[in-house]
Amino acid sequence: MQNRSTSMPTPECPDEPLRDLLAAVLEALDIPAPATVGHADAYRQALEDRAMHARVALENVLVDDGTQLGIEWETAYLRERLAEHPSTYVTVDQARAALADGKSWMEAVQPTGGEGR
């Protein structure tokens, strides 16, 4: 099918299992920014861990060596790994919400354990 305004092919929508895997990869990589510079190391570590799990899932789907477990399995496994690695830093949105609730800045940016994404 052609897009008449640009004469470029209209991209086809990927099937549901592939869309679900791509959504899980986006969830892995699209984590919220930390509220302070002091949380930057925790943010980088969380992103590094999550990116590694996403890379492994993509590699397992793309490698054609007869050992694939399928896109659905890889997607579920990726989501399980992501759930095991929640962020441990305070996000910008969490700090803003705490400030709106009347907390001080120091209280707002104090990690409470596993509350980010």
CA atoms within 13 A on the CB side of 52: 8
Spatial neighbors of 112 by CB under 8 A, at least 6 apart, are: 90
| Both structure tokens of 101 | 């609730």
**In whole angstroms, what is the distance from residue 70 CA to residue 49 CA?**
22
Q: What is the pLDDT of residues 34-88, one digit of tens each?
A: 999 989 999 999 999 999 999 999 999 988 776 678 899 999 999 999 998 887 8
Average pLDDT over residues 9-15: 69
pTM for this prediction: 0.73
Query: For residue 5, what pLDDT band results from cuts at 50, 70 and 90?
Result: low
